[in-house]
Chain A
Amino acid sequence: GESVGLHLPTLSVQEGDNSIINCAYSNSASDYFIWYKQESGKGPQFIIDIRSNMDKRQGQRVTVLLNKTVKHLSLQIAATQPGDSAVYFCAESLTNAGKSTFGDGTTLTVKP
């Protein structure tokens, strides 16, 4: 069978390493997905999004991968920096639903 990354509530990486944060979503009909970053004491902040007609999208130092077969989303952060330390949430939504459902967060800690 296909190997799928597990969601971890916490992830600790060394500065400069690559980070991979995983998320399993619940609704097979969801067609829009977003990753948010939430720093301590702040609201979530948009990082990157992907629509269901794509399986990969790249931003600056970040890549999102979507596997609809197993309802899995991942966020890859290249050359992780101390400023990347935060809680990361994935969110799924349906076109015309007007709202998103957040998945469980992953707390990323970057060690200098």
Chain B
Amino acid sequence: DAMVIQNPRYQVTQFGKPVTLSCSQTLNHNVMYWYQQKSSQAPKLLFHYYDKDFNNEADTPDNFQSRRPNTSFCFLDIRSPGLGDAAMYLCATSRGGSPYEQYFGPGTRLTVT
């Protein structure tokens, strides 16, 4: 009964080669988030969508883009991955409105060679 699904779980890409990570949800939540988490660190918010409204964090590099074609799906595009972009990428959802708990997917572990 997975509620937030991330594919693939493990992704290997080459330096500079564009890569897309995907997230889908069965919760019908309004808000979807993308986080980057490096080893032993707290998840760092990259951006989030409230319905179709895109909200970028000020320190998110331009190299990172996102698309949300419908309520259920959200994509993270890394245009030119660098070695420093190797990390776990977490997708999360919440109902929106008043702050609510976030539901996280299992993450995609990105390796850059």
State the A residues within 8 Å of B (CB). Answer: 31-32, 34, 36, 41-46, 49, 89, 93-105, 107
Contacting chain A: which of B12-20, B61-69, B93-101?
A: B93-101
Shortest beta-carbon distance from A49 to chain B in Å: 6
Q: Are A44 and B55 in contact, CB atoms less than 8 angstroms apart?
A: no
* Given A103-B42, A105-B40; A97-B99 close (CB under 8 Å): yes
Q: Which residue of A lies closest to B47 (CB)?
A: A99
User: Is B106 engaged at the interface, CB distance under 8 Å to the other chain?
Assistant: yes
Q: Are A98 and B96 in contact, CB atoms less than 8 angstroms apart?
A: yes
Q: Which of A43, A97, A101 contacts B90 (CB 8 A)?
A: A43
Task: Report how far A104 CA is from B41 CA in the complex, Å.
Answer: 7
Q: Are A98 and B106 in contact, CB atoms less than 8 angstroms apart?
A: no
Kindly list 7 other residue pairs between chains A and B, CB separation below 8 angstroms, not including A43-B104, A101-B45. Answer: A34-B101, A41-B106, A43-B107, A46-B102, A94-B99, A105-B42, A107-B40
Q: Are A99 and B43 in contact, CB atoms less than 8 angstroms apart?
A: no
Task: Report how far A80 CA is from B105 CA in the complex, Å.
Answer: 26
Q: Which of B31, B99, B102, B105 contacts A95 (CB 8 A)?
A: B99
Contacts of B103 in A (CB 8 A): 46
Q: Which of A32, A36, A44, A102 has the most CB of B within 10 A?
A: A44
Contacts of A93 in B (CB 8 A): 99
Task: Report how far A109 CA is from B6 CA in the complex, Å.
Answer: 28
Q: Which of A32, A44, A96, A97 contacts B43 (CB 8 A)?
A: A44
* Given A32-B99, A34-B101; A98-B50 close (CB under 8 Å): yes
Contacts of B48 in A (CB 8 A): 98-99
